[in-house]
Amino acid sequence: MQRNALRLWTALLLLPAAAAQADFQHQASVALGTSSDDFGDGLVQSRYAYYFAPVQVGDAPYRLNTFLSPQSTLRVSYGFDSNVDLYGVGGTFHSEGGWLAGADYGRLEVFGSTTDSLSLALGYDFQPGQRVTARYATLDREWGFDSSTYSIDYLGYFDLASTAGIAVNAGWAHTEYDGVGRDNDNLTLAAAWYLTQSWYLGADYLYFDDGGDSDDTWVLSTGYWWQFADHFALTADLSRFLDSGASGVAINLGFQARF
């Protein structure tokens, strides 16, 4: 199955040059998340977002357009596999002064049990491509322990002379569980090097500490966005966990429509 992932990736890199894409206010997508160990079986997710003002595309990486040209938005999503249904709705307000405030509600239904989630975000864009965001999220589980998470993260993008640019992310999250004596702390450090508007290579460092045990791992990834028409694109992402019990290559295949 890992050979299938390699063949898919090679085929994408040999595709003809991308088409020009216009600015957009609507974005719809459907994607399959699967793995090389069980290719084809996984989570299917569909998403739609409406932006109250046009998102500019220009020559920036396609995946970062909504970050580099932030606009107020409303969004909905639905995902499923053989055992799971996942629903989401939310929105984000962006002010002209650089502030943003967002809220998202989600529901997970799996094996007859439901989990409701609520996430609130407050952030500030120091300039285009430089953002700090603080978040508060809760999980209300029908089975298991409820939890609350506080987090803060930085996301930045920097143009490069010979290639498109590099995106960096640093984040910390603290989770408290009701009825459990230990809390969790998570640290994420990540970078994605955009060789072109469509293609990136990424590396993430993940650290976890629950007050008694700690662990860390690296994730290597790559992704390609094929803009084959003015309003339509195909995407593929491959990632591999290192120094962990995970096996195989995680694969995400998607179709994007922007208009």
Mind listing the pLDDT tens digit for each residue in 192-223? 999 999 999 999 999 999 877 899 999 999 99
Homologous superfamily, domain 2-19+36-258: monomeric porin ompg (2.40.160.40)
- Give the residue, 39 or 233, on which the prediction is more confident: 233
How far, CA to CA in Å, does 81 sit from each of 31, 34, 44, 48?
Answer: 12, 11, 6, 19
What pLDDT is stored for residue 5 in this prediction? 47
Tokens 């491959």 appear where? 238
Angstrom distance (rounded) from CA 40 to CA 75 = 27
- On whether the CB atoms of residues 230 and 211 are closer than 8 A, the answer is no
Q: What is the pLDDT of residue 7?
A: 55
Read off the pLDDT of each residue in 86-97 and give the average, rounded to a whole number: 97
Q: Which of 63, 29, 27, 66 is nearest to 46 (CA)?
A: 29
Q: What is the average per-residue pLDDT within 75-92? A: 96
Task: Please check the confidence at residue 165 and state whether its pLDDT lies above 50.
Answer: yes
What pLDDT does 1 receive?
A: 47
pLDDT of residue 56: 95
Question: Quick check: 123 and 130 in contact, CB under 8 A?
Answer: no
Q: Domain spans of the chain?
A: 2-19+36-258
**In terms of DSSP bridges, do strands 113-127 and 84-94 run parallel, antiparallel, or are they unpaired?**
unpaired
Residue 257: CA atoms inside 13 Å, Cβ hemisphere, count?
Answer: 8
pLDDT of residue 41: 78
Q: Identify whether the C-beta of residue 236 lies closer than 8 Å to the C-beta of residue 252.
A: yes
CA distance 223 to 135: 27
pLDDT at 52 over 80: yes
**At residue 135, does pLDDT exceed 60?**
yes
Collapsing DSSP to helix, strand or coil, 200 comes out as strand
How many other C-beta atoms can be found within 10 angstroms of the C-beta atom of residue 235? 20
pLDDT level of residue 10 (50, 70, 90 thresholds): low
